[in-house]
Structure 1
Amino acid sequence: MRLQPPDTAPERIGFLLLPRFAMVAFFSAIEPLRIANRIGGQTLFEWDLISRDGKPVVASNGMTLAAGYALHEMPHVPSLAVCASFEPDSSIDGELVGWLQARAADGCVLGGMDTGCYALAAAGLLDDRTVTLHWECLPDFRARFPRVDAVESVYEVTAEGFSCAGGSAAIDMSLDLIRRRHGDDLAAQVRDQLIHDEGRRPSSRQRERLLPQEPLLLHAIALMEANLESPLGIRELADELGISWRRLERLFARHLQLSPQQAYLARRLDHAHRLLRETPHGVMEIALACGFASASSFTRAFRRRHGLTPSRLRRQALSNRA
């Protein structure tokens, strides 16, 4: 998925499947390439599946996918995507970090799908680069890897690497690859076979179809999500936007039927919900990361939003993993 085509044809891409990887993102990346091969009448793309030990990998949906190679068996490929989803940290250790660093040193262009960028960032391979990953993970990722420019785009492709937000974003990234390698006509034919809308560009935001297309509102929400740990006051938020706080109130009431305070709190609590389900951080640590000064205020707000306490959600999440 590198910008420039590799020296060999067909183009070969590796997919490293970490435990609980997102099956939908993986298949969304593969299917456009398979269809391009069929319509093109020749093998334009090939792919290899890798797991840590070469054994089958269980995806987040419980389905199992066979791998062709273990880490130590994998031959050189021009490009390799790290496929992850829930709990990417559980798969990151010294062996994986060293293996990724060796691939980068060998000239392989590395990318991440869904939460795959966690592994690349832990290996120190994303500093001062622009990447994307699933929007739910962006606040946590930005806090942990401040030297990485993590943005809420659908996908990113640069000379150094590539990344996509997961889900259907992988279709757009693969269509972009087909377009760059083999032209607009083939990409359009593949898109028609997939019954997919006009391919989104990297600048498209992941949730642009889910929110009213009001620039000030989108800017306000982006500011909220960039400041979950230390929430801005509503007047501060209005000042950042260059509008009065009364206009900010009207903006949220008109488009979301919420006050700015309610919308901000909801985003902080939804972020806490994900952290409780998918990370090992303690409840108080998560409370502080989401802008709450005490466990009691966090628990009350969380119960109102989600119908159970943070501790109970954590117990449920641990039970589901057992």
Structure 2
Amino acid sequence: MPEEFHFMLMPGFSALGFMSAVEPLRVANRFRPNLYRWRIVSRDGAPVVASNGISLNADTAFAQVEHAHTIFVIAGFDPLACYTRALGDWLKREYQRGATAGGIDTGSFVLAEAGLFDASHALTLHWEALAAFQERYPHLKTTQELFEIDARRITCAGGTASIDMMLDLIGRRHGADLAATISEQFVLSRIRQRSDRQRLEIAARYGVHNRKLIQVIGTMEHQIESPLSSDALAREVGITRRQLERLFSTILDDTPARFHLRLRLDRARELLQQTDMTVAAICAACGFESPSHFSRTYRAQFGVSPRSDRHAQR
């Protein structure tokens, strides 16, 4: 019998993450008929609108699915906006019956909310939502891998990483040759490994090649809640503050303080849009001295207050 996948689409789901998961199954069936079949599941059996505005018809409502083999929850921004106890109970019931539970993009939020993870198992999700996830579920172990396959729990960063995850699953079940054949159909030069990075290296993201500057930016990205002074950052890489400021000015046309501030504001915006944390809590998580200072700085950067920005996204 074909192996069956149920794709539970949350409103605003990532269309790219979904299609990148389904297409490898379709191509697998082209070369070896009837290996896989799949069904689209929604809250009520009605069509679901993706984050890009495309509407997909569902085959059934989740409450009608019993004894599933594999369930993938696919979400996008604000993954818990439509989460219900009934959905969580269904996921737990199917998992307890032996189903494999998967999360694509921010689908890991839904699985975590349903209680399907524990601290002993690693999971991943889209890098942009990682900080929000860690704030909500600090007891869970997260990685920045493209995907994690852990017994009957599978998580994936979404986007095109869904292709790599599915090729890995297909290769495990039906051999590396079939996975490679499918990869060639997508004109992929290689199948990425689980441990490949989600994001570009700092050098590629910012167009910098100075090793000390790359080290400092890496430190800044990890010191969002407790930002370091320029003096402390300079000491980290064994240079003076003046040398550090010259590096930022010459290569990035910026100052260390302004650069780090933008990183913190970008993180704050992610938390505003993807969590229900209070503005005060986000202020503290991003290293601002007071909510009023945070709000003024946020408005200066984005032209809107934190609260207004949050409401505009929902």
- State TM-score, norm by structure 1: 0.84
Q: Is 1:22 the counterpart of 2:18 in the alignment?
A: no
- In structure 2, the residue matched to 1:119 is 110
Whole-Å Cα distance in 2 between the matches of residues 271 and 46 of structure 1?
Answer: 39
Q: Is 1:197 the counterpart of 2:189 in the alignment?
A: yes
Q: Is 1:65 the counterpart of 2:56 in the alignment?
A: yes
Q: Is 1:265 the counterpart of 2:256 in the alignment?
A: no
The one of 293, 297, 308 aligned to 1:301: 297
Q: Is 1:83 the counterpart of 2:74 in the alignment?
A: yes
The one of 176, 184, 190 aligned to 1:184: 176
Task: Give 1:234 shift.
Answer: 5.3
* Contact preservation (8 Å) 1:139, 1:225: no
- In structure 2, the residue matched to 1:97 is 88
* Contact preservation (8 Å) 2:20, 2:160: yes
Q: Is 1:317 the counterpart of 2:313 in the alignment?
A: yes
* Contact preservation (8 Å) 2:28, 2:35: yes
TM superposition outliers: structure 1 runs of 4+ over 6 Å: 212-219, 247-255
Whole-Å Cα distance in 2 between the matches of residues 254 and 132 of structure 1?
Answer: 37
Identity of matched residues, %: 42
Q: Secondary structure at the match of 1:27?
A: helix
Q: Secondary structure at the match of 1:162?
A: strand
Alignment of 1:5-16 (within 5 A): 9-16=1-8
Q: Secondary structure at the match of 1:288?
A: helix
For structure 1, which runs of at least 5 residues remain unmatched after alignment? Answer: 1-8
Task: Give 1:286 shift.
Answer: 2.5
For structure 2, which runs of at least 5 residues remain unmatched after alignment? Answer: none
- In structure 2, the residue matched to 1:44 is 35
- Go from structure 1 to structure 2 and tell me whether the alpha carbon gap of 1:148 and 1:278 turns closer, same or farther (over 3 Å shift): closer
- Go from structure 1 to structure 2 and tell me whether the alpha carbon gap of 1:230 and 1:56 turns closer, same or farther (over 3 Å shift): same
Structure 1 residues 41-50 or 279-288, which shifts more? Answer: 279-288
Whole-Å Cα distance in 2 between the matches of residues 15 and 51 of structure 1?
Answer: 8
RMSD: 2.8
Q: Secondary structure at the match of 2:313?
A: helix
- Go from structure 1 to structure 2 and tell me whether the alpha carbon gap of 1:260 and 1:161 turns closer, same or farther (over 3 Å shift): farther
Whole-Å Cα distance in 1 between the matches of residues 307 and 53 of structure 2?
Answer: 25
Task: Give 1:231 shift.
Answer: 3.3
- Go from structure 1 to structure 2 and tell me whether the alpha carbon gap of 1:56 and 1:301 turns closer, same or farther (over 3 Å shift): same
Residues 7-35 of structure 1 show CA distances to partners (whole Å, capped at 9, x for unaligned) of: xx422111111111111100011011111
Letter in 2 for 1:149: K
Whole-Å Cα distance in 2 between the matches of residues 176 and 153 of structure 1?
Answer: 14
Structure 1 residues 204-213 or 80-89, which shifts more? Answer: 204-213
Residues 135-165 of structure 1 show CA distances to partners (whole Å, capped at 9, x for unaligned) of: 1111111121122111112111121411111
- In structure 2, the residue matched to 1:291 is 287
Task: Give 1:223 shift.
Answer: 5.1
Alignment of 1:136-155 (within 5 A): 136-155=128-147
- Go from structure 1 to structure 2 and tell me whether the alpha carbon gap of 1:44 and 1:235 turns closer, same or farther (over 3 Å shift): farther
Q: Secondary structure at the match of 2:5?
A: strand
* Contact preservation (8 Å) 1:80, 1:108: yes
Whole-Å Cα distance in 2 between the matches of residues 298 and 251 of structure 1?
Answer: 27
Q: Is 1:35 the counterpart of 2:27 in the alignment?
A: yes
Whole-Å Cα distance in 2 between the matches of residues 106 and 213 of structure 1?
Answer: 51
Whole-Å Cα distance in 2 between the matches of residues 30 and 188 of structure 1?
Answer: 16
- Go from structure 1 to structure 2 and tell me whether the alpha carbon gap of 1:35 and 1:93 turns closer, same or farther (over 3 Å shift): same
* Contact preservation (8 Å) 2:216, 2:237: no
Whole-Å Cα distance in 2 between the matches of residues 245 and 185 of structure 1?
Answer: 54
Aligned residues: 308
Whole-Å Cα distance in 2 between the matches of residues 76 and 244 of structure 1?
Answer: 61
